[in-house]
């Protein structure tokens, strides 16, 4: 094989490896800390900056590269590439632990985590710049006119990597597996081509490379164990932090079930911890004794799997012990306030909880559910935990499931609906923000029958009510009514349980008034916000009718409390401000 061809292949592989390492850094930062646009833009920018600095690195070895010099560079790239995911997870654990416990050094809960990602991107980018310059100078020695070809293969390699990462790697491999696999590929293939190119055995660097390859092979084989170690550190943090607890092995904890899809990472966390002493995740279990004084679900279904928390892309979505609070209020409150629909559209809600509530009405003739993620649908239809929680709703014959993006479906489909229930994650990135945009709700309005209505979960409504109101008003809805899953304070059983839970604190001399504490507790833990909208002005149905449907938590009193804004402390001020409108072209809800 001509040496020029070897150079081209070497450049192609090296470019792909470098870009995948950067995408890994950006994806990990996004998964653990959100804000994908900022993370990807920042990391790619830092990578290009570092590569530019590396490209002008004035050394004799880059001008007249030798085999051992390039081998050394590849060793360093593989070594730092190997550390990318473990170091980012460790830095996040430090940030997470310090953030969980107020009063600690703010640096660790702020710039520390992103700084580690930037440093890794810069180091790998610097070496890639040095590597590329050496390859260009090497090509000029053999074919002075080959610079453009080398540059083309560098771009082609980066393009292939950019396509493989989201389409093949992310849906099928964990971040740890990708990290170790790419480091192995870099070490094996690039080493091989360098040795062919310079007709060298590599000498001492070959032994170093062999040792590193052995380490990488072990890491790749044990990638699942590495992932579980860090997942347990994140989802089962210690009750008190110290240097030892940050680096200690998490034992006696259930495995975190992680499922990968092209669209998201799905984590199912078992909160039923068989271990002495409390950890912060047991707050779910500690809240449950109070909540069961408002819900009869666990009394009627004692074997219900109450102890599972669902996380999507690292963000908490629902807890099976209290999930009925969101799903019942999302579906039943607007139905009681209007009438039972005949044709229903559900957007999102892939876990099946919203579907379960809709199916309680035999009058509903047609239910279409649009969900983007087929992996979530499969779990909801087949997984034992999911099917028990959703009462096997996703296999019901009345339900038609459409695998599609909600925005695309609404845009293409012309069917009119009597009710639309939107159950999607909070708008914490640009992709989700478009499903809360004026454009999306404008399409929703056109898919409603004259008396049709829509309800959706309104995250962070206390800080974002003006954005919701202006967006929906501009989209053409004349009725925009927020409501809340408010629970009454004067519940003797709940007060009794709370007194018991607070007994240790009271015994230490703290003065706590149970009723006030319960009021704050209910608002902070169990008060979800929703918005109900119609195209025409509408007065809510003042008479409560449950339509002979079983509710676990909703009742007549709580239905009226849902619209009591003084009780929840919500200011229903309606001020028209075009700057507050959330649009695809100018997102305002996204944070």
Q: Catalytic residues, which ones?
A: 423
Q: Among 249, 243, 234, which residue's Cα sits nearest to residue 280? A: 234
Q: Is 389 exposed, middle or buried (0-12, 13-18, 19+ CB in 10 A)?
A: buried
For 589, other C-beta atoms within 10 Å of its C-beta total 24
Q: Which residues pair with 421 in a beta bridge?
A: 346, 455
Q: Which of 576, 558, 581 is nearest to 483 (CA)?
A: 558
Cβ partners under 8 Å of residue 542, min gap 6: none
Q: Which long-range contacts (CB under 8 A, 24 or more apart) does 281-284 make?
A: 281/235, 281/236, 281/237, 281/309, 284/309, 284/319, 284/321, 284/322
C-alpha closest to that of 407 among 387, 374, 436, 368: 436
Q: Output the CA–CA distances (angstroms, integers) from residue 408 to 190, 351, 446, in the order listed.
A: 43, 21, 14
CA distance 50 to 129: 7
3-state secondary structure 248-280: CCCCCCCCCEEEECCCCEEEEEECCCCCCCCCH
Strand-pair category, 366-371 with 343-348: parallel
CB 467 within 8 A of CB 582: yes
For 189, the token pair is: 């293939």
The number of beta carbons lying within 10 Å of the beta carbon of residue 198 is 19
CA atoms within 13 A on the CB side of 76: 16
Strands laid side by side in the 257-260 sheet? 257-260, 265-270, 308-312, 315-319
Report how far residue 167's alpha carbon sits from residue 178's, in angstroms, rounded to the nearest whole number: 13
Q: How far is CA 332 from CA 455, 522, 559, in A?
A: 10, 20, 9
Residue 221: CB atoms within 10 Å: 10
Q: Quick one: how far is CA 308 from the chain centroid?
A: 17
Task: Name the burial class of residue 366, with classes exposed (0-12), middle (13-18) and buried (19+) by CB atoms within 10 angstroms of its CB.
Answer: middle
B/e letters for 8-33, b = 16+ CB within 10 Å, e = fewer, are bbbbbbbbbbbbbbbbbbbbbbbbbb
CA atoms within 13 A on the CB side of 553: 28
């Amino acid at each position: 094989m001509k040496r020029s061809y070897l150079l081209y292949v070497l450049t192609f592989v090296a470019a792909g490896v470098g870009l995948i390492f950067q995408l890994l850094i950006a994806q990990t930062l996004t998964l653990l800390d959100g804000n994908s646009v900022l993370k990807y833009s920042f990391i790619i920018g830092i990578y290009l900056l570092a590569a530019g600095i590396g490209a002008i690195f004035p050394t004799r070895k880059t001008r007249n590269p030798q085999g051992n010099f390039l081998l050394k560079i590849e060793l360093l790239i593989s070594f730092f590439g190997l550390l990318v995911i473990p170091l980012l997870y460790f830095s996040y654990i430090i940030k997470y632990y310090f953030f969980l416990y107020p009063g600690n050094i703010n640096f660790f809960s702020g710039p520390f985590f992103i700084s580690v990602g930037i440093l890794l991107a810069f180091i790998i980018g610097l070496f890639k710049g040095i590597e590329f310059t050496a390859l260009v100078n090497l090509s000029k020695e053999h074919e002075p006119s080959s610079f453009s070809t080398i540059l083309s293969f560098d771009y082609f390699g980066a393009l292939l990597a950019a396509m493989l990462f989201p389409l093949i790697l992310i849906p099928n491999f964990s971040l740890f597996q990708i990290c170790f696999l790419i480091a192995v590929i870099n070490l094996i293939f690039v080493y091989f081509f360098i040795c062919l190119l310079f007709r060298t055995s590599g000498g001492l660097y070959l032994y170093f490379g062999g040792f590193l390859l052995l380490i990488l092979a072990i890491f790749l084989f044990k990638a699942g164990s590495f992932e579980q170690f860090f997942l347990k550190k994140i989802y089962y943090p210690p009750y008190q932090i110290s240097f030892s607890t940050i680096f200690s092995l998490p034992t006696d904890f259930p495995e975190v079930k992680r499922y990968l899809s092209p669209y998201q990472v799905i984590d199912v966390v078992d909160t039923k911890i068989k271990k002495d002493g409390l950890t912060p995740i047991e707050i779910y279990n500690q809240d449950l004794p109070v909540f069961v004084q408002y819900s009869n679900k666990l009394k009627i279904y004692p074997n219900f799997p109450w102890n599972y928390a669902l996380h999507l892309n690292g963000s908490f979505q629902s807890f099976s012990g209290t999930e009925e609070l969101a799903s019942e209020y999302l579906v039943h409150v607007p139905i009681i306030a209007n009438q039972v629909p005949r044709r229903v559209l559900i957007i999102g809600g892939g876990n099946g909880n919203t579907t379960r509530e809709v199916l309680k009405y035999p009058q509903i003739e047609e239910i279409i559910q649009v969900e983007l993620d087929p992996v979530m649908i499969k779990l909801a239809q087949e997984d034992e935990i999911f099917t028990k929680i959703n009462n096997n709703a996703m296999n019901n014959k009345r339900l038609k499931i459409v695998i599609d993006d909600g925005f695309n479906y609404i845009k293409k489909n012309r069917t009119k609906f009597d009710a639309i229930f939107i159950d999607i994650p909070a708008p914490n990135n640009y992709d989700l923000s478009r499903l809360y945009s004026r454009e999306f709700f404008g399409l929703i309005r056109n898919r409603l029958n004259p008396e049709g209505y829509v309800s959706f979960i309104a995250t962070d409504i206390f800080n974002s009510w003006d954005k919701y109101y202006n967006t929906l008003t501009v989209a053409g809805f004349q009725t925009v009514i927020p409501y809340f899953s408010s629970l009454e304070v004067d519940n003797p059983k709940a007060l009794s349980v709370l007194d018991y839970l607070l007994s240790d604190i009271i015994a230490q001399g703290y003065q706590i008034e149970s009723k006030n504490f319960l009021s704050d507790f209910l608002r902070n833990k169990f008060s979800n916000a929703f918005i109900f909208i119609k195209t025409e002005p509408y007065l809510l149905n003042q008479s409560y009718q449950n339509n002979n449907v079983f509710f676990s938590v909703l009742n007549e009193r709580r239905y009226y409390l849902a619209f009591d804004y003084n009780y929840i402390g919500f200011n229903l001020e309606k001020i028209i401000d075009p700057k507050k409108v959330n649009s695809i072209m100018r997102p305002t809800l996204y944070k």
